[in-house]
Amino acid sequence: MKYLDEYRDERVARGLVAQIARRATHPWVLMEICGGQTHTLMRFGIDELLPAGVEMVHGPGCPVCVTPLETIDKAIAIASQRGVTLISYGDMLRVPGSQTDLFHVKAKGGDVRVVYSPTEALKFARANPDQKVVFFAVGFETTAPANAMAVWQAKREGLKNFSMLASHVLVPPAIRALLSSRRNRVQGFIGPGHVCTVMGYHEYEDLVVGGFEPVDLLEAILMLVTQLEEGRVQVENQYVRSVTYKGNLPAQNVLGEVFEVCHRKWRGIGGIPESGLNLREEYAEFDADRIFGTQEVTAEEPSECISAEVLQGLKKPTDCPAFAIRCTPENPLGAPMVSSEGACAAYYQYRRHMVAAGPGGR
Ligand code: SF4
């Protein structure tokens, strides 16, 4: 197959569903890691097409969802200062912090801006040398190379008014943490194709790297179910049109040049050793956390939001008592309802709550 439409071909998709149904003789719990994959499952109703024994649960691969509350609070504290421009991706503005969100900081006169890439933030810093420009960088291995490149470029140019509040996270340690949890239900993982496009899949031993279109996901599910039914455990690559074993080496090089692996707290889930990326000491002059003295900011997660359970595949968004009642995209209580990759937003957007409650909804 060469074109996008072919990965949405209904005949091919139904054929794969039939093959999965034939292969699955036991119940299996599978997790797609990435929020983009969750949205494809919901949008195309794949979860409802699968045989009853094959259950999909949704993983922590939504960068906005796993950014810790205190990091949002740090961004809010920095953005509230005079002479500062805080720049980030659109989703980050609506993620609730302890007291408020960046959108409200902006509404009250804070200089908070939205961009599509860190190079736009660099451009703004060059054009506004009297303004302290902070790029709020979140994301997995996918976005980290571009953010690393921005810092590398700023150092090369000697930019004095640019810094980064970095909250990057890594997929392999998160999978290990999920698997080692006593409460784990997941028996097979669909790995995030875009992360593996950058990093390759040599770090994994036991998942199927999957793409983002319906046929990609169904093929990955079939590969996983086949492995499980045959008692095999191995890494396989469904997303061959994008992912190679070693990945994108120039991107990995710039990542290693600017960032180093660190302990990282994941929102709702807690600390996971060696699961994040921080700026290296050589780039400390660009570390907004140090520049603005926010390293010690801490925050308690709100108890009503069960996103920790959702992001670990222990519960579905529709299990949350607040879902679609007190928590909606217009008034989110937790990040998974805000983010365009969040599982709660996917369930809401594709009306899983209406399905759960019948024609009248909740
Ligand atoms: S529905 Fe809202 S409150 Fe419930 S888990 Fe999702 S984001 Fe949190």
- Over the stretch 260-307, which tens digit does the pLDDT of each residue have? 999 999 987 889 999 999 999 999 999 999 999 998 888 877 778 899
Quick one: 177 and 226 in the same domain? yes
Quick one: 157 and 202 in the same domain? no
Quick one: 19 and 117 in the same domain? no
pLDDT band, residue 362 (cuts 50/70/90): very low
Residue 203 CA, chain-centre distance (Å), reads 18
Query: Is 307 near ligand 1, meaning CB less than 6 Å away?
Result: yes
Q: Which of 217, 237, 257 is the last residue of a domain?
A: 237
Quick one: 142 and 98 in the same domain? yes
> What is the count of structural domains for the chain?
3
Q: What H or E segment, with its residue span, contains residue 348?
A: helix 343-349
Find, among 345, 283, 341, 267, the residue nearest to 98 by Cα: 267
Q: What H or E segment, with its residue span, contains residue 275?
A: strand 270-279
* Average confidence (pLDDT) over 309-336: 93
* Average confidence (pLDDT) over 296-323: 89
Ligand 1 atom 8: the closest Cα is on which residue?
305
Atom of ligand 1 nearest to the CA of 324: 1
Quote the CA–CA distance of 59 and 55 in Å, as a whole number. 13
pLDDT of the residue at 198? 97
pLDDT band, residue 355 (cuts 50/70/90): low
pLDDT of the residue at 360? 41
- Stretch among 84-93, 143-152, 276-285, 330-339 having the lowest mean pLDDT: 330-339
Which structural domain, as residue segments, surrounds residue 187?
A: 5-62+172-237
Decide if 110 is inside a domain. Answer: yes
Query: Is 343 near ligand 1, meaning CB less than 6 Å away?
Result: no
106-133 pLDDT, tens digit per residue, is 999 999 999 999 999 999 999 999 999 9
Query: Is 333 near ligand 1, meaning CB less than 6 Å away?
Result: yes
pLDDT of the residue at 3? 66
The residue to mutate among 94, 337, 338, 349, having the most atoms of ligand 1 within 8 angstroms of its beta carbon, is 337
Atom of ligand 1 nearest to the CA of 334: 7
